A and B are shown apart, each in its own frame.
Chain A
Amino acid sequence: MNEIAAQWIIGIGLAFNLFGTIGLVRLPDVYNRLQAATKCVTLGTCMILLGVLVGAWGGHAGITAMGAKAVLCAVFLLLTSPVAAHAIARGAYRSGVRLWEKSVVDRYGEDIHPERPPAERGEPDETPGA
């Protein structure tokens, strides 16, 4: 029973991982790739870790050392992955990576450079360290 449930959960996680990396290859610019890959792969790996918890469930003993470490790792991934994605998106925008030409809205650019015209909002700031 536990084995079958663990296989289903890990299979769903693997499907999420594959779809996320396909999005990483197919989508047009950094922000879209970040959107697809980070969410899908984080959720997929957390489901694999949950499958480890279920698959390593030890009968009468209950939770095992492997399962406890899997839960710890899943909580850590869920806490850190959005922080890393936010930092990369901010760093990419500040370093001058432009949006895809078919993107229609740039709220971050409006927020940090309200005085510039829309065509120049993606330009980088002053040179760092100066």
Chain B
Amino acid sequence: MTSLLPLEFLLVAMAALTLASFLCLYRISRGPTAPDRTVAIDILGTLIVGFCCVMALWTGQDFYMNIAIAWALLSFIGTIAMAKYLEGRYYDE
């Protein structure tokens, strides 16, 4: 089990993604309306896909990319459901 890129670079990447995630969490906690929070949660899901990429490069195991694909799918479905709820319609319209 070896990392595919230098560990210092992967640590810096983790730090940058963590900072971006905390900015998203600020918007989730302070968002004045529900659509603000929905946008921030969608962006947080996309950032977690980035985390999975960094972990895959760190450990050299490719199952992290399966997690990334599944997370992108579920995040998309959740965002669509939340948007339909905000619009005030049922899911089959």
A: residues with CB less than 8 A from B are 3, 6-7, 10-11, 13-14, 17-18, 20-22, 24-25, 30, 33-34, 37-38, 41-42, 44-45, 48-49, 51-52, 55-56, 64-66, 69-70, 72-73, 76-77, 80-81, 83-85, 87-88, 90-92, 94-95, 97, 124-125, 127-129
Contact = CB atoms under 8 A, between A and B. Distances in A.
Contacts of B50: 13-14, 17, 44-45, 48
A14 B35 contact: no
B92 interface: no
Contacts of A73: 49, 65, 68-69, 72
A49 B53 contact: yes
B69 A52 contact: no
A69 B76 CA distance: 18
Q: Is the interface of B mostly helix, strand, loop or mixed?
A: helix
Given A76-B69, A95-B34, A128-B89, 20 more contacts: A6-B4, A21-B21, A30-B35, A30-B36, A41-B20, A41-B43, A44-B50, A45-B46, A45-B47, A66-B62, A72-B69, A73-B68, A73-B69, A81-B46, A87-B79, A87-B84, A88-B42, A88-B82, A92-B33, A128-B87
Contacts, number: 166
B86 A20 contact: no
Given A84-B42, A84-B80, A21 B20 contact: yes
22 contacts: A14-B50, A20-B43, A21-B24, A22-B23, A33-B39, A38-B43, A45-B49, A45-B50, A52-B53, A52-B56, A55-B57, A56-B56, A70-B53, A70-B65, A76-B72, A77-B46, A80-B76, A84-B80, A85-B42, A88-B38, A91-B38, A91-B83
